[in-house]
Amino acid sequence: MINPLLRRQRFGLALLLTLVLPLLAQANEPLPSWNDGPAKKSIIEFVQAVTDQSSKDFVKPADRIAVFDNDGTLWSEQPAYFELLFAFDEVKRTAAQHPEWKTTQPFKAVLENDHKALAASGMEGLLKIVGATHSGMTTEAFDDYAKTWFSQARHPKTGKPYTEMIFQPMLEMLDYLRSQNFKTYIVSGGDTGFMRAFAEKVYGIPPEQVIGTTFVTSYQFKDGKASIVRTPKVAHNDDGPGKPVSIDAVIGRRPILAFGNSDGDLQMLQWTAAGPGKRLMGLVHHTDAKREWAYDRQSNIGRLDKALDEANSRGWTVVDMASEWRRIYPFDPPATEQVQ
């Protein structure tokens, strides 16, 4: 006959295990902020296939290269690209040094918050703003300006620092890949120096693995000090076809995994898909107007049109944000139930 005290102890242990084991399993589960949908399934199955030495799809660690766009893929990009908002703030911060801006477009529009005039200046106007705020200084000075802005600026919708407007599911994907000996890179149309100011702290991606648009720089030795100076001339536009070009030049290996969110990422996905063996090409589809934003084919920011058609026709992974992500941002409360 079992001692009643022992029986109660066994019952208590069984109850504890019933409660704790599912939580432990969830903690060890890859991609906990992803619902059990097709995107999560394709990612995990891909990683398992290329890391299993007994699999015909096994890829040695040196070739496990994963590339990610930044704007709209790793963090939000609405109501405007965050780097552009930084440039606008820099115009206002340095306006006293440029009195001519008070009467010169597009700077006048920025100083007066004239959105209509700013829109009328078009891409040419935006490039003038970016050129003026991203050059004429050392790389160290630009890094300081960017880091200062990130420490002070707040997103107009959420009131959060821009470095908190990152996607929790993608952070988990980066961590999951690195735990399986993948090397993760950012390949973005954003300025390399701007992204390097936060990428390692926020994403765990070091400066040497951040690839973006670059300005022509020059070496300067002045007053006994050596520095690199940024000029207004663009050296490489890392968007569209510029992405596979820079991947080939900087990494020197074709990725086996690539993720983007817009037509500007299409060539990077095509380049990744063109290699031999098993590969994963993915798109983050912004479909969640309640928790983030919903936009694709008609958007002026992060337009997803041709890339979406090609992804659907070729069977690439398309992440429906509304249905496949339990939470969007790290500051969102952890979801205990799947979002429908």
Q: What is the mean pLDDT of residues 130-153?
A: 97
Q: Which residues contact 49 (CB under 8 A, 6 or more apart)?
A: 55, 57, 58, 278
Q: Residue 135: pLDDT band by 50, 70, 90 thresholds?
A: very high
pLDDT of residue 23: 44
Reply yes or no on whether the pLDDT at 283 is more than 80: yes
pLDDT at 21: 47
pLDDT class of 8 with cuts at 50, 70, 90: low
pLDDT of residue 213 exceeding 60: yes
Sequence-ordered alpha helix ranges (H) in 115-238: 115-134, 139-152, 168-179, 192-196, 199-203
Q: Is 201 exposed, middle or buried (0-12, 13-18, 19+ CB in 10 A)?
A: exposed
- Pairing of β 183-191 and β 280-285: unpaired
- What average pLDDT score do residues 128-137 get? 96
Three-class secondary structure of residue 246 per DSSP:
helix
- Predicted structure pTM score: 0.90
The number of helices, as runs of H, and strands, as runs of E, in the chain is 13, 8
In single-letter form, the type of residue at position 75 comes to W
Sequence letter at residue 272: T
